[in-house]
Amino acid sequence: GLSASCYPEIGISSLPNIYPYWTTIIGEGIQAKRRSSACLVGHLSPPMTTAGLYDEFEELEALLDEHSHFEQEHPESVSEIGEVIREKALACHLIDEEQGPTMELDAVITEVHEKLTDLKHMQMRNGLHILGQGPEGTDLEEFITAIIRTPQGDIASALETLAAEMGYDWTHLEQHSGELSDEGTRNSVIIDRIWNELRTFVSNVMYNPDYEIVPSLQPLAEAILCEYIPKLDETKNELISISKALQGTYVEPGPGGAPSSGQVDVLPTGRNFYGLDERALPTKIAYQLGIDLADQVIADYILNEQRYPETVGIILWASSNSRSHGQCLGEFLYLLGVRPKWQSNGRISGLEVIPLEELQRPRIDVMGRISGLIRDMMPTAISWLDKAVELVADLDEPLEDNYVKKHIHDDVDWLVEQGEDPLLAT
């Protein structure tokens, strides 16, 4: 808290502070409440879209399409076009400049497919948000697409559901996007097909009353029509709330966060947003998304190094974990091979070790670099990470399956070599 002699308190004094603030930046919003008694009016994110490809990346994708054609129709010409792809990938910095020239051609093709797929479907902002105006037309379609690409409460990700409808496992496709499927098609091509199906689904749900919806997508369609679109239409509340605040009347509170990170409950905007109960972080959904993040990190490392990473460093920010309900905290725990135990009220009551036979990989040693704000805002959540490391370090497991234990063992050996007493070294 601030004393009367603190500069923020001297500066604000008794002046009302009505502060329109991006609803996803919870950590800094809470700072504004604490340091300057702010009445926050949360506003919506800017319009969103997927990045797509352009210029040399678009040319490279065309070359990959041509390579796929030659693979099936003219295999004798594959190596020639493959070398052109290698040169283009090196020029675009998509493959390592040192290893790229000597990589196996198949490995080059696989890696470039994966990098372009990641770039193409990356979410990005597309313009600026106008206070009090919700997305319309194409922007609304893209916003809805951004919301349903991740799980929302009990509703699964639209991408996972559509993939399953088409006979694929979405997680496997994402993790192996550059590889050939059983049907001889690159997984990246199947991913593009699923994305196209997703956009078609959103457009039909919004504008085509005669569109026939398969049962597995019915909950999503109902949520889009009955919840997501009506709540986005209430974005006008942003200006209404500012007007209320200027008149000295009550501004309704509500949660902060990012609708596109599994938190559609932050809609409608225009509310005086508050932080989360940090005793519930990571939430169940955030932990599941953290698993996906951890799997991607491990898969990328294996692709480049042909082995598991022994140590992973994660920078933990208050704002990003507030916005995502602790996805990075979930990633941290899952890399260690630990899952939270949740109470019925959503708070975490303990941790449990995921058995190695279920984990199907070694436990990764994780080093967290925390900010001062996350230390202050989420002390309980940070303490769970510390407990998780201690829990893994005490397991009776082979060193090759438990890198936390392996590194402690290596550190103790080094200290003893330097003359430290073995008892003190441990």
Nearest C-alpha neighbor of 387 from the set 344, 347, 348? 348
Structure tokens at 181: 């499927």
The mean pLDDT value for 202-228 works out to 93
What does the alpha-carbon distance between residue 102 and residue 111 come to, in Å, rounded to a whole number? 14
- Within 10 angstroms of residue 378's Cβ, the number of other Cβ atoms is 25
pLDDT for res 378 = 87
More confident residue, 95 or 310: 310
The pLDDT > 70 percentage for the chain reads 98
Mean pLDDT check: name the lowest of 59-73, 135-149, 161-175: 59-73
pLDDT higher than threshold 80 for residue 70: no
What does the alpha-carbon distance between residue 130 and residue 114 come to, in Å, rounded to a whole number? 35
Handedness of CA 370, 375, 381, 383 (dihedral sign): positive
Q: Are 314 and 332 in contact (CB under 8 A)?
A: yes
Break the chain down into helix, strand, coil percent, rounded to 5: 60, 10, 30
pLDDT for res 248 = 92
| Amino acid identity, position 324 | S
The mean pLDDT value for 336-343 works out to 93
Structure tokens at 222: 């109902």
* Three-state secondary structure call for residue 421: coil
Q: Are 312 and 323 in contact (CB under 8 A)?
A: no
The per-residue pLDDT for range 286-326, each reduced to its tens digit, is 899 899 999 999 998 998 888 999 999 999 988 888 878 89
| Amino acid identity, position 356 | L
Helix locations, 266-378, DSSP H: 284-305, 318-323, 327-336, 356-359, 372-377
pLDDT for res 416 = 86
More confident residue, 132 or 209: 132
pLDDT for res 76 = 67
pLDDT higher than threshold 90 for residue 241: yes
The per-residue pLDDT for range 377-424, each reduced to its tens digit, is 888 999 999 999 999 999 999 999 999 999 999 988 888 888 888 888
End-to-end CA separation in angstroms for the chain: 41
What does the alpha-carbon distance between residue 228 and residue 265 come to, in Å, rounded to a whole number? 9
| Amino acid identity, position 100 | G
pLDDT for res 304 = 85
Helix locations, 47-186, DSSP H: 55-73, 78-91, 105-120, 137-148, 158-165, 170-175
pLDDT higher than threshold 70 for residue 77: no
Domain ranges of the chain: 1-51+121-275, 55-120, 284-417
Pairing label, strands 18-22, 39-43: parallel
pLDDT for res 355 = 95
Q: Are 382 and 375 in contact (CB under 8 A)?
A: yes
pLDDT higher than threshold 80 for residue 276: no
- Within 10 angstroms of residue 131's Cβ, the number of other Cβ atoms is 16
pLDDT higher than threshold 90 for residue 198: yes
The predicted model scores a pTM of 0.69
pLDDT for res 366 = 95
Average pLDDT value for the chain: 89
Q: Are 172 and 159 in contact (CB under 8 A)?
A: no
pLDDT higher than threshold 70 for residue 74: no
The pLDDT > 90 percentage for the chain reads 48
CA distances from 111 to 68, 87, 129, 305 (A): 14, 14, 36, 13
The mean pLDDT value for 104-109 works out to 82
The mean pLDDT value for 23-49 works out to 89
Angle formed at CA 77 by CA 73 and CA 80, multiple of 5 degrees:
145
What does the alpha-carbon distance between residue 324 and residue 126 come to, in Å, rounded to a whole number? 20
pLDDT for res 325 = 84
The confidence band for 88, taking pLDDT boundaries of 50, 70 and 90, is: confident
The mean pLDDT value for 185-196 works out to 91
CA distances from 68 to 64, 103, 187, 188, 243 (A): 6, 19, 12, 12, 59
The per-residue pLDDT for range 114-138, each reduced to its tens digit, is 888 888 888 888 889 999 999 999 9
pLDDT higher than threshold 80 for residue 345: no
